[in-house]
Amino acid sequence: MKRGKKYREAAKLVDRKTLYDPAEAIELVQKTSYEKFDATVECHLKLGVDSRHADQQVRGAVVLPHGTGKSLRVLVFAKGDKAAEAEAAGAEYVGAEELVTKIQNENWFEFDVVVATPDMMGVVGRIGRVLGPKGLMPNPKAGTVSMDIKKAVEEIKAGKIEYRLDRANIIHVPIGKVSFGSEKLMDNFKTIVDAVQKAKPSAAKGTYMRSVVLTTTMGPGVKVNAVRVND
């Protein structure tokens, strides 16, 4: 892949063979951000598990102490008092069957997270084939299927993110914006790493955290010494 001049200049600052201590990596990933916009800092965790096996799945959610820097639009499937609770908590869209129809007929996806009360999952299931591939299907493990709608919506608005393995056994998550500065990025980084470590399946064998890479939206990857992430 042919890279642009700015990327090549930024990449010169990174030694691809070096495993940087977390603090160094966070400093470097900010230094190599050449975008004119406030780039997102991403964390990519390669795990020593096999996502093809149910007992080796790694999935959950965690509230980043400083949020992600992005305002998420929340859609809630609920009725009655729970619908009113969702609206009061700040959900952008609240409804039931009419929202399913809107998604089916209009290919409408002007939302980032879907939350539902347990009694509404039968309704949401009608569009499971559409929501699933986009990573939008509500899930109890992620806290997006709950009777405590107020808490679910408020946590998402406060910076709650979901993490899950892809087919290559890698977790990809945002940990904030370049403008956050090193201290806040470090807090968020340690929070997600700690959550993933605590979610280690009992069936996992050998080295669990194989590699950790930090990068910005368009910048070069910076390898982190996985052994030092909790120092």
Give 40-76 pLDDT, tens digit per residue.
999 999 999 998 899 999 988 899 999 999 888 999 9
Q: How far is the C-alpha of 188 from the C-alpha of 47, rounded, in Å?
A: 19
CB 90 within 8 A of CB 157: yes
Q: How far is the C-alpha of 98 from the C-alpha of 75, rounded, in Å?
A: 12
Give 94-128 pLDDT, tens digit per residue.
999 999 999 999 999 999 999 999 999 999 999 99
Residue type at 99?
L
Give 143-167 pLDDT, tens digit per residue.
899 999 999 999 999 888 889 999 8
Structure tokens given for 86: 């969702």
pLDDT value of position 217 = 84
Q: Residue 130: which of 108, 159, 145, 156 has the closest Cα? A: 108
pLDDT value of position 6 = 85
Average pLDDT of the chain?
92
Q: How far is the C-alpha of 41 from the C-alpha of 35, rounded, in Å?
A: 12
Residue 11, pLDDT > 90, answer no
